[in-house]
Amino acid sequence: MPRFKITIEYDGTGLVGWQRQDNGPSVQAALEDAASAIIGHREDVLVQGAGRTDAGVHALGQVAHLDLDRSFDEKKLPLALNAHLPPSIRVLSAALVDDDFHARFSAIGRSYRYRIQTRRVASAISRGFVWHVGQDLDQSAMEEAAERLIGKHDFTSFRASYCQARSPIKTLDVLRFEAEEDGLALIAEAPSFLHHQVRNITGTLVQVGLGKWTANDVSEALAAKSRPAGGPTAPPEGLYLTAVTYPG
């Protein structure tokens, strides 16, 4: 059967996350239902994603693959799927790929953006799409602390206590800040991430920006290899999966 790679954008508000679950709507379930619909409900279609975003987390460049028992035009497939999807989930593009392509296991990099709003009054427009901190942050101090986390480390202090990854050792290639109109954004890039790693790092670095932590405190938390030693978990609504990269 033809295998397609699809790139997806979604608003995670009101969703239980990427993975199909019994307790509410998910991105995976919506895509699988849409795929089944366009082939006439003859059988269920499995859609496998590059990563499992949490409830409330958004995506600008999530990637998934699916096998269809009939051929589709690569340009028309997104239109066909979108006709059966809620407006909060859009398939941006589709490409025919080899049978051994896997959205998750073939990926060599993932990029996230976490948006932090610092203006005093929360925006009515961006509500649900940023973390409203509501006060100025010391970006220089946050950048100094972020440098302590770049590279290959044991990130036990910055992963969810129920994270199922076999190893807490990950390599952070990029961890930097960009200015935004009403605040700043944390950019994180790595081959893969632990559960809640970006949100836990963001929550910790905001403590630095507020003057409650120092860069040395972040280094000590990393060395402790214990989740209670790390900072708080930032809320999901500020987090976006922006891109997944593959060889070539």
Catalytic residues: 54
Question: Tokens 């941006």 identify what position?
Answer: 92
Q: Rounded to the nearest 5°, which phi and psi values hold at 152?
A: -90, 120
Q: For 196, left (φ over 0), alpha (ψ -120 to 50), or beta?
A: left
In this structure, the number of other CB atoms found within 10 A of the CB of residue 18 comes to: 27
Q: Could you give the 3-state DSSP secondary structure of residue 18?
A: coil
SS3 labels along 83-141: CCCCCCEEEEEEEEECCCCCCCCCCCEEEEEEEEECCCCCCCCCCCCCEECCCCCCHHH
Give Cβ neighbours of residue 167 (< 8 Å, ≥ 6 apart): none
